[in-house]
Amino acid sequence: MNIKKDKVGEFLVLKIKGRIDTIHSADLEREVNQLFAGGEQHLIFNCEGMNYISSSGLRVFLVAQKKAKAINGKLFLCEMQPAIQEIFRISGFSNLFKIFTTQEDALQNQ
Amino acid sequence: MGNNKNKRFVIENQIGELSSLADKIDELAEEWELSPALAMNMNLVIEEAVSNIIFYAFNDDNKHEIRISISLENSSLTIKIIDDGIPFNPLAQQQPNITLPAEERPVGGLGIFLISQIMDEMNYDRIKNENILTLLKTI
């Protein structure tokens, strides 16, 4: 897994590449925790390069959403591959996040 | 003849084993010409079941083997996962309430639920000192 960060307006965009599995989800969680601790309030996860997620990865997104909501932050997801979208759907996670087709859409829905 | 394919993996109860196992499952999916989406789902259900076993099945510090067999007979995919840990029936676990809002959703408890959603059938047997989880899906 690899994460690239980019500040765009009020958002911190995280481009996630690779697998968010039992082994790698802790790295993503650490990264997200550091961003919130550093004062970031609004996050966009660009999931274009994310090709795998398991329950441990879903858990990280849920924890991030809880933290964002607690500080009135926005947490958007975008550019998700269909197989990953399906995992979000069957776990009920599609209802917990705003999921946009493109990063541009996510940025405009401020 | 022809349409029956079988593969068996044996791993130790170490979480680091999951990485090489995932690579092997991807290779197998390629060899059997399965779609990337199915390869992902196979990897997912095996990761969920095996990580549960590694985290919760053993209350000693000994090495244990976890045996995974995957077979494809025409369009029937069978995944069997066997461990010698404490008895654990995943079918008896409470299903998460997936309609709760984020603030109220408990973190965790999703792994077995995902397996049950992805696969068509999930069976559990305790035979002698072993847990045997059998997962079936028509592809």
Which structure tokens are listed for A16? 């996630």
pLDDT above 70 as % of chain B: 99
Question: What pLDDT score was predicted for residue B3?
Answer: 75
**Interchain contact, A95 vs B51, CB within 8 Å:** no
pLDDT tens digits for range A7-51? 999 999 999 999 999 999 999 999 999 999 999 999 999 999 999
- Report whether pLDDT(B94) > 90: no
Neighboring chain B residues of A95 at a CB cutoff of 8 Å: 99, 101
Neighboring chain A residues of B105 at a CB cutoff of 8 Å: 62, 96
Rounded to whole angstroms, the Cα distance separating A73 from A71 reads: 5
Given pLDDT bands bounded at 50, 70 and 90, which one contains residue B45? very high
Rounded to whole angstroms, the Cα distance separating A68 from A11 reads: 12
Question: What pLDDT score was predicted for residue B2?
Answer: 58
Say what the pTM is: 0.94
Q: Stretch B13-40: mean pLDDT, rounded? A: 95
Distance in Å, alpha carbon of A71 to nearest chain B alpha carbon = 12
Q: Which of B18, B22, B107 sits opposite A62 (nearest CB)?
A: B107
Write down the CATH superfamily of domain A2-108.
STAS domain (3.30.750.24)
Residue matched to tokens 């933290």:
A67
Neighboring chain B residues of A90 at a CB cutoff of 8 Å: 114, 117-118
Distance in Å, alpha carbon of A95 to nearest chain B alpha carbon = 8
A64 CB near a chain B CB, below 8 Å?
no
Neighboring chain B residues of A86 at a CB cutoff of 8 Å: 37
Question: What pLDDT score was predicted for residue B109?
Answer: 84
pLDDT tens digits for range A48-104? 999 999 999 999 999 999 999 999 999 999 999 999 999 999 999 999 999 999 999
Given pLDDT bands bounded at 50, 70 and 90, which one contains residue A110? low
Distance in Å, alpha carbon of A9 to nearest chain B alpha carbon = 26
- Asked whether the beta carbons of A43 and A106 are under 8 A apart, the reply is no
* Global ipTM: 0.91
What long-range pairs does B47-50 form, CB within 8 A, spacing at least 24?
B47/A21, B47/A22, B47/A54, B47/B18, B47/B21, B47/B22, B48/A54, B48/A55, B48/B111, B48/B112, B48/B114, B48/B115, B49/B81, B49/B90, B49/B111, B49/B115, B49/B133, B49/B135, B50/B11, B50/B17, B50/B18, B50/B21, B50/B81
Q: Which of B15, B103, B110 sits opposite A55 (nearest CB)?
A: B110
All domains in chain B, ordered by first residue: 4-138 (3.30.565.10)
